[in-house]
Structures are given as C-alpha cells and as structure tokens.
C-alpha cells in the first residue's frame, strides 16, 4: 500500500466560524466517486461552507477509484480546502466497497455517506442532527412511488433479507455505535447501503426536497452485476440453513425407508433375493450422505456467522488537510513569567 500525506498551511485553510454551530459532536462526511470529477474543488466549496456554518468540528473524506492524478495535482486541488482527506484506492474496488472503506476511515461521532452530487442538494446538517438526536441511522428517501412492485427486486429482497427500496438515496447518516457494529460484519458493503428486514435498529427516513432535482442513478453494468452477485452471496447462510433442514428431512426419510424394508421382509411378503440388502444399503447410504451434507452446511453457517469484517487494504494514496485545533488558543501550559524558574524549597519550621 502506498500512503502519502500532504498537509496545507494553516493560513490557507482558515474557515470562518459562525455563531450557531453545533459543538457537541464531530461530523464526518464521506463522498464516494468512481472517478475524479472535473472542478471538484469548486464543487466542494458550497458543501464546506455549509458544514463550517453548522458545525465546529467536521471532516470530509473523498474516496476516488482508479485515479490517475499525481500527488502534486491532488495537493494543488485540495490545498485550500480545510479538513479534507482524499483516498485514492485500487481501481478494481467496487462502488460499495469504496463506501465501506470511507466509512471505516471516518472518525466522526456521526458519519454521513453520500456522493458529491447528492451532497450538494442535501441538508446535511439536518440529516446529521436527526441521526445524532435519534441515535439511529437516517436515510434521505425519495417518492414512495418508486417502490412499485418489481418481480426481480421482490425476489432478491426475499432471498437476501434486505429491503431493496428504490426510493432510498445513497445519502445516509450513521451514529458511531451503529456504524461500528455494521463495519464488524462481513456484509458491511451491503449493510451500509440497504437496511436488513430484521435489523435491530430500523432506519428512519426523511423526505428529500421536492424543489430540487435529484441526480439519476445510472449504475454501470458491471457495478449492477457485482451488486446482484454480492446480494446472492450474502444469502449463503439462509441457503445453507435450508439445505441443512432438507438434509435432516432426507435422513429421517432414509431411516423410515430402512424400517419399511425390514418390516416388509419379516412380514412374509414375497420379495426378490437381495432386495432387503440393497434396500438397507441404499437407505443407510442416503442417511449418511444427508447427515454429512447437513453437518457441513451447519458448519459453514457457523463459520460465516463468526467471520470478522476484515477487508483487503486497497488505499493507494492519501491526501490530508485536517486540523481540528487550528483555532484553539487555550493551552494546558503555564506561560507566565515565572515559568521555568526554580523555586527554593520551603524552610522547615
């Protein structure tokens, strides 16, 4: 992994502070882009201005995939933008992996994950405050008409256990405790984007502004294919549990068949020579194979449940311009004229 850090001077990153700022928590905004947009520095200024007016402590993490710009170019684009970190990652990392990577790098008490286009038209301060005050994840939601019945989406939702709502945008806020719990799961890439049907912490939804045109979500074909693959792969515990249940039923049926063969043989019914032996071999073999398959399925389910959320390090380069203490003047050091002078020990009485 190649990691490089560039820090701009304090004089270039001063930000005016307002009087109505929230000072009780740190906000992290994660912006995920699959490529470096043109003029991203100018586009970020309204977002920075809004955050600076609403919060005293904040940071922006930009995660970009497959960037070809040099470190010097990144430094020139983001040198005058305070509290901005840029993560240039492996170009083969998928979009949802970028979201997880950015969230894992955030240090805020509330973390908002979004895209640059959605962040420009979202009320990020209200979103963060609602998540902070409610202590629950909050998602910006569009019209419920977008959630019309879709056979494919309904089937995937039933199979995977996720609420695949088309009305949910890519902008969501997570309190720190919920984010940490999600990041520890092996399905963090999907859990940050979709809500589980059996989630312990349901996600609240706030309506998007009707007066603003939300960007169309046009995913690349490979990105959509990767998402469907991840959704199907995430259903492995459910599928394995179903296979183990089916194996148990087959094992019981095998024992019943062996019992049936023994009863028929000793009841005096005329059967061909060797029928009992073949029946017992078939029944016991089926019983053994079903028990073995069921045990393997349960073992794999247990392994998947115990997996940690470890992910491959894919950060190639980092640019950082974060300094939370640029405007802090109070020091825990005595700077008086008597500092550093020796004091004579008091005379013993």
Rounded CA gap, 314 and 348, in Å?
66
Is 300 contained in some domain? yes
User: Is residue 145 located within the same domain as residue 248?
Assistant: no
Rounded CA gap, 71 and 52, in Å?
26
Residue 320: is its pLDDT beyond 90?
A: no
- Distances in Å between the Cα of 51 and the Cα atoms of 20, 47, 119, 248 are 11, 6, 11, 57
Helices (H), the chain: 40-54, 71-78, 95-105, 116-120, 124-134, 151-160, 176-183, 188-191, 221-234, 236-266, 275-306
Which of the pair, 251 or 202, is modelled with greater confidence? 251
Is 147 contained in some domain? yes
| Per-residue pLDDT tens over the stretch 208-236 | 776 566 666 655 666 777 777 777 777 77
User: Is residue 211 located within the same domain as residue 189?
Assistant: yes
Task: With H, G, I as helix, E, B as strand and everything else as coil, classify residue 349.
Answer: coil
Mean pLDDT of 285-310: 80
User: Is residue 45 located within the same domain as residue 188?
Assistant: yes
Q: Mean pLDDT in the chain? A: 78
Nearest 5°: phi and psi at 283?
Answer: -65, -45
Specify the CATH number for the domain of residue 105: 3.90.550
User: Is residue 106 located within the same domain as residue 169?
Assistant: yes
Q: Kindly state the percentage of the chain with pLDDT values over 70.
A: 72
| Per-residue pLDDT tens over the stretch 230-289 | 777 777 777 888 888 999 999 999 999 999 999 988 887 888 888 889 999 999 999 999
User: Is residue 21 located within the same domain as residue 55?
Assistant: yes
User: Is residue 47 located within the same domain as residue 145?
Assistant: yes
- Cβ–Cβ under 8 Å, residues 171 and 92: no
pTM over 0.75: no
Rounded CA gap, 49 and 83, in Å?
12
Looking at residue 337, the DSSP 8-state letter turns out to be T
- Cβ–Cβ under 8 Å, residues 199 and 139: no
Which residue range forms the structural domain that includes residue 48?
11-235+310-320
User: Is residue 213 located within the same domain as residue 248?
Assistant: no
User: Is residue 195 located within the same domain as residue 299?
Assistant: no
């Amino acid at each position: 992994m190649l990691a490089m850090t560039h820090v701009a001077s304090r004089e270039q990153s001063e930000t005016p502070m307002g009087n109505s700022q929230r000072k009780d928590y740190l906000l992290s905004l994660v912006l995920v882009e699959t490529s470096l947009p043109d003029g991203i520095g100018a586009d970020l200024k309204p977002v920075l201005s809004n955050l600076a007016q609403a919060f005293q402590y904040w940071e922006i993490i930009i995660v970009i995939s497959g960037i070809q710009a040099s470190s010097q170019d990144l430094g020139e684009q983001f040198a005058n933008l305070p509290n901005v970190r840029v993560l240039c990652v492996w170009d083969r990392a998928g979009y949802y992996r970028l979201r997880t990577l950015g969230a894992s790098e955030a240090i805020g008490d509330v973390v908002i994950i979004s895209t640059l286009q959605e962040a420009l038209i979202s009320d990020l301060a209200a979103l963060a405050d609602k998540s902070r005050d409610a202590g629950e994840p909050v998602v910006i939601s569009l019209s419920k008409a977008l959630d019309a019945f879709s056979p494919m989406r309904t089937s995937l939702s039933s199979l995977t256990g996720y609420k695949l709502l088309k009305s949910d945008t890519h902008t969501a806020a997570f309190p720190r405790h919920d984010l940490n719990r999600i990041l520890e799961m092996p399905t963090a890439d999907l859990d940050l984007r979709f809500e589980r049907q059996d989630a312990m912490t349901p996600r609240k939804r706030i309506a998007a502004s009707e007066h603003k045109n939300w960007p169309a979500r046009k995913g690349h074909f490979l990105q959509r294919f990767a998402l469907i693959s991840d959704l199907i792969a995430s259903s492995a515990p459910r599928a394995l549990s179903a296979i183990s249940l089916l194996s148990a039923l087959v094992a019981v049926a095998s024992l019943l068949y062996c019992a049936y063969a023994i009863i028929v043989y000793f009841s005096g019914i005329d059967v061909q020579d060797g029928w009992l032996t073949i029946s017992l071999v078939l029944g016991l073999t089926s019983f053994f194979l079903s028990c073995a398959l069921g045990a393997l399925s349960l073992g794999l389910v247990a392994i998947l449940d115990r997996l940690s959320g470890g992910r491959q390090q894919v950060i190639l380069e980092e640019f950082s311009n974060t300094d939370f203490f640029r405007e802090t003047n109070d020091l825990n050091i005595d700077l008086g004229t008597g500092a550093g002078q020796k004091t004579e020990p008091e005379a013993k009485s």
